[in-house]
Amino acid sequence: MHKKRSGAAAVAGALSVAAVGGLLAVAPQAAAATTCSTNVYQRSFYKNTTFSGTPVKTDCDSAISQNWGTGSPATGVPTNNFGVRWSVTRDFGSGGPFTFNVSATDGVRVYLDGVRKIDLWQGTGDTARSKSVNLTMPSGKHTLRVDYVNWTGAAKVSYTYAPRTSATYDSVKPLAPTGVKTAYDTTTRRTTVSWSANKEMDLAGYSLYRREARTGSTWTKVASTTTGRSYTDPLVNPDDRTPYYYEVRARDKAGNTSSGSADTIVRPVPTATGMTGSYDPETRRVSLKWTQNTEPHFDHYTVMSNEMIDGRGTWVAIGTTKGNTWTTDPVVADGEANQYKVIVTNDGGTTEYVGNGSLNAYAENEVWLNIPDQIGPAYAPQLSPLVRCDAGVRVTVSDSTPAPIRDFVGFQVERREAGTTGDWTVVLHQGFDPRTDMPSATTCDGLQTDGRTYEYRAFTYDPSGNLSPATEIQSIRVDDISWPTTG
């Protein structure tokens, strides 16, 4: 019993075992599914003309072109009354006008997506007959099927399908190429563009186009190929940092050209983006920040500054970093606009162009900051000798700086009691008439004749309210005897 169980188990491991009337009936296992290469027919042989039951044999066939004569087409298949079925599913791209050609003895039928397009279904003996059908193939994937039967006599069959490539019939544009990839070589400083094979059966080739990555630029044809799907653009010279868009277009044998593939940008040197900046009036430092570049050929940034004076300036490098932030040394708070830029160097040593000193309002790697003016006028004004006025002390201040180089807009006079360290009181804050040759301001500071001594000093001030250095302090005692009058 043990041996019988072992034997039954061994048989069951390779065969399907069933009990029939108390006996073991052995049935063969189903054959593994046949998988064929892309666009290759799967072919099945039947030992009947109704394509019923399990095929005797299934294999792959690259073309339907058979002449079996009067013999059997395959082992286990009779010489007469047999059937052969071919089927294939493929991508026809944009589709368009096609021709189906068939020639066969006896019966042959051709189907497109299950719809019969050719029907020659009668016995012919050894004589073959042919038929051609013109039709429009829809775009995308479709299934072709050919059924052939041989009743008697010679077995011959052939079938082909092909696009009609004359411009008279074909006005369907190919599909745009896909899978476009670009690679920039930082050593040779050249760009290689590659793309996937187009699905069109009537493909004549491809054209590669390029344009500068700026508004208003136009496409230029770089190259044309027939079967090649990769091209290295020789245009980019060692000093060219211009970003370019690339696209690929397909053309068919009828002269139709597809639309362009999805545009792919190539930057020989990456560009920093999202740059912002802020100024801290306490530390007088500028803090800069931008988006970190992640391109594989990125190496480092150079931070540039440009202190614009009357709209002119020169870019100066202030440091390098691999990060995306930078804090400057203290800057002069002179009320001018400071411009900052970050430029990138790739791992091949190529650096972006710095450009001129003007601001590019659209550049994402530049920022312009208005630095507050914290610098007062350079020189103190002249404080005239203090004299008496009807209500107190007359104070006159003036400045002889020539008009073209004046850096102030008014005068300020302050007073405090002599011998104290208290706060100064502003007794005059006044602009001057810009039409005068020598700007000046005068006030009569109302004080009681109390015998006290008072100190005065004067300044000029600029549009931001910054004060110049103070004049020398003048003192005066307020009583009826010791101080002169204005007359």
**pLDDT, position 357:** 66
Q: Number of C-alpha atoms within 13 angstroms, CB side, residue 34? A: 18
Count of beta carbons in the 10 Å neighbourhood of residue 471: 18
- DSSP code per residue over 247-283: EEEEEETTS-BPPPPPPEEE-SS---EEEEEEEETTT
Name the residue type at position 283: T
Residue-wise pLDDT tens digits, 160-208? 999 999 999 999 999 999 999 998 887 787 899 999 999 999 999 999 9
Q: How far is CA 418 from CA 421, 456, 482, in A?
A: 8, 9, 16
User: Other C-beta atoms within 10 Å of 58: how many?
Assistant: 16
Predicted pLDDT at 309: 59
Per-residue CA distances from 62 to 33, 102, 158 (Å): 18, 16, 12
% pLDDT > 70, the chain: 89
Token pair recorded at residue 130 = 């042919």
Q: Which residues of the chain have pLDDT under 70?
A: 1-32, 236-239, 308-312, 356-357, 480-487
Evaluate whether 202 touches 251 at the Cβ level (below 8 Å). Answer: no
Determine the residue type at 358.
S
pLDDT score, position 30 = 42
Which two tokens mark 421? 């360290």
Q: What is the pLDDT of residue 485?
A: 52
Contact 98/163 with Cβ under 8 angstroms? yes
Question: Could you give the domains of the chain?
Answer: 41-163 (2.60.120.260), 181-266 (2.60.40.10), 273-370 (2.60.40.10), 382-477 (2.60.40.10)
| Percent helix / strand / coil, the chain, rounded to 5 | 5, 50, 50
Evaluate whether 250 touches 174 at the Cβ level (below 8 Å): yes
Which strands, in side-by-side order, build the sheet including 410-417? 425-431, 410-417, 453-461, 474-477
221 with 208: CB under 8 angstroms?
Answer: yes
Beta-bridged to residue 318, according to DSSP, are none
| CB-CB neighbours of 308 under 10 Å | 16
Please provide the DSSP assignment of 273-340 as one string.
EEEEEEEETTTTEEEEEEEPP--TTEEEEEEEEEE-BTTB---EEEEEESSSEEEPPP---BSPEEEE
Residue type at 1?
Answer: M
- Structure-token pair, residue 119: 């029907």
